[in-house]
Amino acid sequence: MACQIIFLLILSGLTGLESISTVSKVSVKTGGSISIPCPYGEQDRDNVKYLCKGYYWNHCSYAVKTNWQNTQKYSISDDRKERIFTVTIRDLREDGYYWCAVERNGQRDIGGYFHLSVTKGTPSLYMDHQEFRASKGGNITFMCYHGSSGENQWCRLGGSCVTKSSGSIEGTEVTLIAGSTNFFTVTMSGLKTESSGWYLCVRGDLQMPVHLNVTEQHTTNTVTPTGSSDQHSASEEKIIIPLSVLIVLVIVTLFSLLLFKIYSKCELNFD
């Protein structure tokens, strides 16, 4: 299979086919879903993007396009500001070969090949979520679970990677810690708004793409996946409101007792 992929890449170069840099191989559990980021160049900002299914570029079939309506099986969204379109495939049942592609009017389309390995058991590399949120200046820790051999890496999509126990990606500190035999953690410290974007948890020849959104709100708390932060805030509100009421009741009670004492003294003096 590796030789076939190399052959495809060589053939692409000989035929003048430009390549989109995306993931190469992702492991997914049967019945699950996956979102794949596909970056593109400035010149393709307004062009139609699409997902094509099939091993061979010249014989793949359209699955979804940005000028089509999304379906329950396939969906596509285009972030023109960041120049990344994202394809989502749901209810996966078998291995598949796909191409992230961009139409070029009057020219050959460009594409990037990736393989989805679908397994009935635990995926060879996975994370609990693909979407995460954190605050500017804070930290976030990711858990990468695996059942395969190979080197641990944390990479910015289309950018640099950290392969040792510590390093940095675009000014953000990154620490890799190998846990037990089936997971490793990645901690990003001193987050910036520019740290937002797509990252890859890598183990051997497998990658798992995850998206991080860094907001302006400052916090020193450990950041959790998207959804948990809202629940945490709601819990804080539930605690703060009753506490405020209790404080008011205590103040009113103390003030009432003080008035009662003053009134009692006045009564005695009057007598």
Q: Are residues 102 and 172 in the same domain?
A: no
User: What's the rounded mean pLDDT across residues 2-7?
Assistant: 42
User: Confidence class of residue 265 from pLDDT cuts 50, 70 and 90?
Assistant: low
Calpha distance 103→124 (Å, rounded): 33
Q: How many domains does the chain have?
A: 3
What is the extent of the structural domain holding 113?
A: 2-119
What is the distance between the alpha carbons of residues 53 and 55, in angstroms, rounded to a whole number?
7
Residue type, 22: T
Q: Is the same domain home to 191 and 242?
A: no
Across the chain, mean pLDDT equals: 81
Could you say which of 82, 98, 119 is where a domain stops? Answer: 119
Cβ-count burial of 119 within 10 angstroms (0-12 exposed, 13-18 middle, 19+ buried)?
Answer: middle
225 within a domain of the structure (yes/no): no
Tell me the per-residue pLDDT of 192-241, one tens digit each, with 9 for 90 and over: 999 999 999 999 999 999 999 999 875 443 444 443 333 333 333 333 33
Q: Tell whether 18 and 35 lie within a shared domain.
A: yes
Whether residues 184 and 250 fall in one domain? no
- Domain assignment present for residue 222? The answer is no
Q: Do 93 and 186 fall into the same domain? A: no
Residue 257 in any domain: the answer is: yes
CATH code at position 168: 2.60.40.10
pLDDT for residue 86: 98
- pLDDT above 60: residue 18: yes
Q: Are 143 and 201 in contact (CB under 8 A)?
A: no
226 falls within a domain: no
Residues 17 and 108 in one domain: yes
Same domain (yes/no): 240, 264: yes
Domain shared by 109 and 40, yes or no: yes
pTM over 0.85: no
pLDDT in tens, 54-89: 999 999 999 999 999 999 999 999 999 999 999 999
Does 256 score more than 90 pLDDT? no
What's the pLDDT tens digit per position in 140-180? Answer: 999 999 997 899 999 999 999 999 999 999 999 999 999 87
Whether residues 175 and 243 share a domain: the answer is: no
Residue 223 included in any domain: no
90 confidence band (pLDDT: 50, 70, 90): very high
User: Rounded CA gap, 23 and 115, in Å?
Assistant: 8
* Final residue belonging to a domain, choices 68, 98, 119: 119
- Please report whether residue 169 resides in a domain: yes
Clarify whether residues 32 and 63 are in a common domain: yes
> What letters, b where the CB count within 10 A reaches 16 and e where it falls short, cover 150-161?
eebbbbbbeeee
CA 124 to each of CA 42, 149, 228: distance values in angstroms, whole numbers, following the listed order:
35, 9, 26
Does residue 220 sit within a domain?
Answer: no
In a domain, 92, yes or no: yes
